[in-house]
Structure 1
Amino acid sequence: MLMVKLLLVCRIILYGIAMLDHDQDNKETCGHVLKTKEGIDRLALYITSIGRSLIVLFSNALGALMYPIYGQGELPQAFCRRAAVKGCIYVLRMPVTSLLLDKASEGVRLASGQEIFSQKLVLDPCATVGLESLSPLTDQQKETIRVLVPKEMSSKEKIARGICIIRGSVRADISNALVLYPPKSLFPEQLTAVRVLQLGNGLAVCPPDM
C-alpha cells in the first residue's frame, strides 16, 4: 500500500506539477527523459507561479496556471493592453521573417521590411533559425541576419486537441479544474500524458449551469 501511495505521489509530481508529457518509466519509448536539474527548475517554476496574477483579467487564477475570462482571445488582447501601458510596440498581422544579430541593432525584420529593435525575443516553438535560406545574402549580411524557417517536426510527434461541452462539472464543488491522465492510466499503449482543462460559466466561456 505504501509503495502504491509513493508511486501516486511521484506521478502527481512528474505529470501534474513538473508537467511532463512522456512516460518516464519507459526509457525506450520516452521522447524526453527528465534530468535532475531540469526537474528542480520545473518544480521551482511551478512554486513561484502560484498566485502570481499580474492583472485583473487573470485575478481568478489562484493556482500556478493562468486562464483568461472570455476565452483564449483575451490573451493577445491582454498583452496588447499591457504593451501599451509599458510603452511597447505591438504589430498586428505582420510576421517576423528574420533576426537581426548586429549588436548595435539587435531585433527582428518583418515581412514588410520594417525593422524593430529589441534585445530579447520570444520565438514560436514551430520556428527555428535557418541557414539554408541565406544564400541570396552577402557574406556581411550573413553575419548579422538569420532567416526564420519552419521547424521540421517528426512524423511521430503529434498533438490531439478536442473541445467538449458537458452539462455539469466533473466535481460538483469545482467549476474550473485541470484533470490529468498520466501515461498508461487510460490504456496500456498510452505513451504520453493527457490533460483536460475544464472551464465553467464563471469565466464567460459557456452558458450558465454548464
Structure 2
Amino acid sequence: MLEQCLHSQRDYLVPWGTQMRLRAVSGAAVSALPCVVGEWSHWSGCAEQCQPDLRIRRRYVQQEPRNGGEPCPALEEKAGCLEYLTYQGEDCGHEHVPAFITTSEYGKERKRRAVSSLWPSDKEAAGYCVEFKTESLSQHCALENRPYARWMQYLREGYTVCVACQPPAMNADTHRCSGDGHNADGGKILHWEAVGNSQCQGTWKKIRQLEHCSCPLVHSFIFT
C-alpha cells in the first residue's frame, strides 16, 4: 500500500507537460513505419536486339513497413524499346514497318545511353518532330492498363500527336526515322504500332515536320 502511494506521489511530482512528452515518446515506439525504397536504376537495354522488345528498371527496399505502415510500391517497371545497332555496331532494325512509337519519357534515358553509342557528338543533338493526325486505332490501346504501357491510353482518334525522331532510331545514313512519312503527302494513310503491345496500332496522316515538338506531354511520343 505504501509503495502504491509513493508511486502515485512520484507521478504527481512530475510536471504535467513532462508526463505528456514521456507518453508521446512511449507511443512512438509502436507507431506505423512506411516502406522506404531507393531511387530507380537506369533502364536496361532491350532484351533482344533489332526487334521490338522490353527494357526494365528496378529499385530496392531500404526499410520494410512495420506496424501496419504504408506498403512498398512497385519495385520493377517495364517499357517497350527497339535497338537499332547490334552488339557489333552494325545497323539493324530499320526493316521494321510500320512506324514503332513509345512514350516520350523513353527519350530521356535514350539520350543518356546515346553518349556511349557510335553516334558522333555532333549528331547526338540532331533530330526533328513530325505532327500526325490520328485517323484510327484499335480498342486495345484504351484497354491497356499495365504500368509501363498506360501511355497508350492517351492515343485518341482525331487527335494531333507529336512524334520525335532522335538517335539511335534515326538512321545514321539518311538521318531519318522509319515510318516518319517522309515524302508522303497529307492525304496518305500511314501505319503505326505501339512498342510493348503489338495489338495497339492504327493509322494517321502526316501534318508537317518541325524542328521541335510542341504537343502536350500525353500526346508526345518518339520513334523507336
TM-score normalised over the length of structure 2 = 0.19
Which structure has more strand as a fraction of its residues?
2
Greater RCO, CA 8 A, separation 6+: 2
Which structure has more helix as a fraction of its residues?
1
TM-score normalised over the length of structure 1 = 0.20
Q: Which has the larger radius of gyration?
A: 2
